[in-house]
Amino acid sequence: MGLFFFFVAHLLLLSPSSLEEDFTGMRVIHPKDLLSFLRNDPESLESVPFLRSVAPTYSARDGVLYSTEKGKPRFRLLAKKTNLYQENQIVHIRESRIFLEDGTEIESKEALYDLVKSQVTFMGSVQSRFKGGAIVESERAILDMRPVMHLFIPTNEAVHGKKTNLASPLLFESMGLEYSDTDKTIRLLSKVKVRVTGPKPLEVVSDHCDLIQSEDLLEFWMDDSRIIERQFVVATDPGLYLKSRRMEVRLRSGREVREIIALQDVFFENQGDPASSTQGTGGRGIYRVPENEITLTEFPQLYQDRDTVTGDTITYNRNLERVEVIQSNAIYNTTPTSNR
């Protein structure tokens, strides 16, 4: 009996902390020890001093954050690790993935959620997926949630993307990007280059481009600050040079690009045969990609060697070297001046 009471007293009186640890798993950690633990995390991509010098108010792993406004869901965010700094009203997130109500998904290695500004800054291998089939990659992106959802990538950040719901992916790159859930339009802000993949790849270069997802339409135009001689969108393939003030590319889900529409001051040159060149001008042009055919309207002219053809409408088939003209007028021995 004496031995029994001795062991009970030893367990209850001499080792209470051991019982507490065994049953609850709770432990008091000094703030200095906590900061020491946090410093084992990789350095933040954002230059925010308090992330490394102040202990977070709360810390969680494998968490889910929800944002609502007046009972309406705005986004759901998955995080590998979340630190809340209550005094600064900042949430620091590792390996974030956010789902917006319009179907857009954004993921990154790191994110800062400013609770006061209702703004999320994504950093490191940022990938944005849009409901219309476009995927955009960058190293940084900013999501504003007031007054509307607005995604912004600064013009000093390179953007690479593709549209995957076509028969062959359409690739694009630019400096900077904007997207708003009000019109679902992806705006490429500067130094735009779009590549139409397929058997005969075609490339379009411009200053600006709008990808209007509701219409499956790409609109290209140039900056007004350029001199007028350089305000041309340029499209090229291995044997074609095409330029105009504005240009449109029409897309169809599950299919190849159907046609490219050149608007205002159109010029093209077919460079298939080095010995001879076919050039054309007009106010408007349509390049039908599958047929390899260009139609010019609005005072069109076609130049082949020293021959000039005019009419109401001129259609030039690049495969057959065939010209079809409505209301034709032909002039012999006229050499066109270069429009390039």
- Are 294 and 281 in contact by the 8 Å Cβ rule? The answer is no
**For residue 337, what pLDDT band results from cuts at 50, 70 and 90?**
low
Overall residue count recorded for the chain in this entry? 340
> Which of the pair, 71 or 15, is modelled with greater confidence?
71
pLDDT at 8: 43
> Which of the pair, 329 or 295, is modelled with greater confidence?
295
What is the 8-class DSSP label of residue 230? G
pLDDT at 11: 42
Coil vs helix vs strand at 184: coil
Instruction: List b or e across 305-328, with b for residues whose CB sees 16 or more CB atoms inside 10 angstroms.
Output: eeebbbbeebbbebeeeebebeee
pLDDT at 198: 74
What pLDDT digit, counting tens, does each position of 203-214 carry?
999 999 999 988
**What are 283's two structure tokens?**
């106010």
What pLDDT digit, counting tens, does each position of 164-221 carry?
888 878 899 999 999 988 888 999 999 999 998 877 788 999 999 999 988 888 999 9
The C-alpha atoms of residue 138 and residue 127 are separated, in whole angstroms, by 7
DSSP string, 291-335: TTEEEEESS-EEEETTEEEE-SEEEEETTTTEEEEES-EEESS-P
Q: Where are the domains of the chain?
A: 29-113
Put simply, whether the predicted model's pTM sits higher than 0.85 gets the answer no
pLDDT (average), residues 113-128: 92
Strand ranges in 224-277 using DSSP code E only, listed in sequence order: 233-237, 240-244, 246-250, 259-270
For domain 29-113, which architecture applies? Roll (2.30)
Residue 2's CB is within 10 A of a number of other CB atoms, namely 5
